[in-house]
Structure formats: structure tokens, C-alpha cells
Structure 1
Amino acid sequence: MLRTRNIYSRGSNKKFRISRSKVDDFINCPRCFWLDRVKGVDRTRTPTFAINNAVDRLLKNEFDHYREKQTKHPIFIQENLNYIPFDDIRLNNWRENFKGIEYYDKDLNLTFTGAIDDLWLNEDTKKVIVVDYKATSKEGAIVMSDDGWWPQYKRQMEFYQFLLRMNGMKVEDHGFFLYVNGIKEGFFDSKVKFNTYLIRYEGDTSWIPGTLKKLKSTLESEDVPETSKSCDHCRYFDDRQDSFRKLNYGQNLEFEFDE
């Protein structure tokens, strides 16, 4: 069944919200993004990773402890960083998934949002630092690269930097991924131990304004964008359609939408 909520209407004067994850959907596949936001065709959903969410909550609890005291977390001392957890009354809202940091672009008539994990304060520059928590359990050290999930992680951090700057915040160009990797050795004993990696990343937000303009143009388009060759969702749909045709079911699974 097609979704009827959060649907973009071409030419509307009503403000429309676009989350950071939806911007990433657009980058990955304009076709899927258009079908989702304009026609209400949800993408296949992935399961929630409850353990990762628990680790995320524990890390927030830990840094909130030092935030309340406005003292250095041990990892700052270990890495010789003159940082403290950033304290701001807006932080709780900025962390909420369906609230987050908001920026209204009056030219595009779109409100862009994103929920951060944490912010630290560089006491030397008085600028905030975007921090994103990541949890996994795999062999070897965690090393940043241009493969796998890393391009998405980098864009995620850059988008948060952009949103904060659009809200008048002074933001460092660099941010950190606080990555914890579960250790699989030994016994469970009702607890899991982690190795912790603090990975610095120099963000570049120059791609964002142009991307948001293209996103708006796609929302306003009457025509569905071309299938993306790199999109798993599009490939699945095309393969499914081809299979029906080869089996002579005479079914065409192309979408037809009533205006």
C-alpha cells in the first residue's frame, strides 16, 4: 500500500522536511528517493540493531557524566586533546531522531534535519566538534577508508557540520568517529568487552548546497528518474520484473501513478 503521509506536493508553499538520511537516499538513488517522497513507495526497511543502540545509549550516558561536571573525559587526556563535552540546553533535542538540528532553506522551501550523537568543545578555539558513535564486532583494527559504509559515514558527519553552521554555530572542520569494536575472545559472562578507536576526519561540506538544489529539482519533477545501476533496490525490482516476463505471466510491474 502506498504511504499517504510525508508526501511532497509539487509547487506547494507548505514547508517540507527532509532528514539527513533522506538526503543520503537521494545521493544513492534519485529514483528510489522520488518514489518514496513524491509517490509514497517506501524502500525496503532494514532491521533495527538493538545492541548498537544500547552501546550508543551507554556512550551518551558516559559522556553526559563528564558534561555535567564540565571536565575532561579520560579519552581526551589519553589523546592529549584540550576538549570537554559541549553543554547546551538544545543538545537533547538535537539528539532526538524526529527532532534533531533543523535548518530551513527559504530558497528551496525545505527544512533539513539531522540527529547528532554528540558534540565536544575545543577549549583552545571555542569551536564545537561533531562526534559520531559507531559500534561493530569484527576482526582487526578499525581503519577509515573509501570503501563499505565509510563514504556514507563521512557524508553523515559533514551534513551535521553543515546544519550546525547554518544555525550559527562555530564548528571545527574536523570531527571524530568514536568507534567501538566488540571482542569475540573468551567467555560471555554477561558482558562484552570492546576496543575503542578515536578516528579523526576532516570534513568538506562544499558538496551539500549543490546536492540540495538537485534534490529539490527532483522533487519538482513530473517524471520518475532513471533506474540507478548501483541501487540494490532498483536491481531487485528490475530482476523481479524480468523474471515475470520470462515466465510468461504477462505481468508488467512498472509503476503507474494517478496524478
Structure 2
Amino acid sequence: MYKHQGIGRPQGYPYTLSIAVDQLLKAEFDGYRERGEMHPVLVDHDGMSEAHLYPDHVQLQKWRNNFEGLKYHDEELDATLFGAVDDMLEFNDGSLAVIDYKSSGAKEISVYDDYQMQMDTYTHILDKSGYKIAGKAFFVFYQVDKTDGFRGRLPFRGIIREVTTDPTYIHDLFANAVQLARSDTPPQSGAECQHCAWASHRNE
């Protein structure tokens, strides 16, 4: 709707705390990278003895950039798929696995379907860009620890969730999205799409 009719999504609440945590984590992980060390939150996870933080900081900064990112131009579709990653692991065999930081105040940590798709997409881009892929990715959740209350500080505990990545469906998904974006006919509104409901009633 935005590309064809100029109807943008209403702005949501800014995630200023999450953004701050994300920036602090990138700086902290970079400190360990510069020293050639694994971040403590990852050290005891299975298989980490065979991995290290991706050492090419210049390349990583490009992949982190929201206006450049990790990207692949699909010649068949004449379209570019990209996304900005938080961090990357490199295993001893040269394969790569994406790390994504997430902060949460929820009682239970969940890897939602869109989180999984995010990692599958990154893996697809890496694969199509000629990198060897590890077939897995890692969420580093920083969950608010409410045990001792607030007391002027907000403590977090680090929790690792490893997922197996499946990039095989991403090309078709991307092709459908490109076809839709280039079409002048919008799709039918989804019953659960709040943006569609808002757009249909915005002039009432």
C-alpha cells in the first residue's frame, strides 16, 4: 500500500530501551572480538569450542548497517534481498552462523516463527553470496532478571537459543513478495491484519 498508494503504516512506540541494549551488546561483543576471545555468554554452549566471533570487523560493520547490510541480488528476479545482522560466528571449517541479540521482559523466552524466518533469510543470503553456512543460528536473549526488584538498575540474564536454519523456502517466498510488490492489484486483506483494518477505516 505504501509503494502504490502512499499509505504507510502508523508509527508504533519507539523501542528505545531495546535499541540501547542492542548498541551496548554490539560494543561489548566487539571488545571480546578485538581480544580474540569468545563472549562469556556463548562460551559454555555446545560446540562453541569449534567457533569464534567473526574476526573481520570491517565486513561485519557493513553487514550491520541498515542501509547496506547482508545482501544478495537475485538476477532472475532482478531484486535485492537484504537485512542487517547483529553479529556472526565463524566455525573452524569456515562456515558462518548468524547471531541475533534480543532483549525481553517476558517470563518465558520464545523463538517465534518470524524470528525463525529472519534467520532462514540471513542463511539464504549467505549461501547465495558464496559463503559456507553452518546450518544453524543463535539467538542471544537478554532477559530482565526481576528476582531482586528494580533498585535503580535493570539486571539481565543471558540465554542462548540455537535454531536449525532452513533456507530452502526463502527464494519462493521472496519471489512471491517481489511479484506482489510489482503488482498494481493489492492482495485480499487478511482477517488478522490490523494494518489492513486500519487502512480500510482511516477515512471514515
- Asked if Structure 1 and Structure 2 have the same fold, meaning a TM-score greater than 0.5 normalized by the shorter chain, the answer is yes
Q: Describe the superposition over 1:54-109 as per-residue Cα deviations: whole angstroms up to 9, x where unpaired.
A: 11111111111111122222233322522211012311011011211121112211
The offset of 1:225, in angstroms, is 1.8
CA contact (8 A) 2:83 2:122 kept: yes
Unpaired segments ≥5 residues, structure 2: none
Alpha-carbon offset, residue 191 of structure 1:
2.3
CA contact (8 A) 1:180 1:195 kept: yes
Post-superposition offset of 1:239: 5.4
For 1:76 and 1:138, the matched residues in 2 are separated by 21
Q: Could you say which residue in structure 2 is the equivalent of 1:108?
A: 77
1:92 to 2:54 alignment: no
Q: What's the counterpart of residue 53 of structure 1?
A: 19
Q: State the shift of 1:143 in Å.
A: 4.0
Q: Partner of 1:138 in structure 2? A: 106
SS of residue in 1 equivalent to 2:90: strand
Letter of the structure 2 residue corresponding to residue 132 of structure 1: D
Gaps of 5+ in 1: 1-34, 145-149, 245-259
> Which residue of structure 1 aligns with residue 145 of structure 2?
183
| Among 161, 173, 180, the residue aligned to 1:211 | 173
1:223 aligns with 2:190: no
Partner of 1:14: none
Q: Which amino acid aligns with 2:128?
A: M
TM-aligned CA deviation for residue 240 of structure 1:
5.8
Counterparts of 2:190 and 2:42, CA distance in 1: 43
CA distance in 1, matches of 2:3, 2:135: 31
Aligned to 1:73: 39
Q: Following TM superposition, by how much is the alpha carbon of 1:208 offset from its aligned partner in structure 2, in angstroms? A: 0.9
Retained in 1: the 8 A contact 2:99–2:138?
Answer: yes
CA positional deviation for 1:126:
2.2
Alignment match of 1:63 (pick from 15, 29, 39): 29
RMSD of aligned C-alpha atoms? 1.9
Letter in 1 for 2:61: N
Provide the residue aligned with 1:126 in structure 2. Answer: 94
- Letter of the 2:77 partner, please give it: L
Q: Which of 1 and 2 has higher RCO (CA within 8 Å, sep 6+)?
A: 1
Give yes or no for contact 1:175–1:201 (8 Å, CA) kept in 2.
yes
Which residue type is aligned with residue 214 of structure 1? N
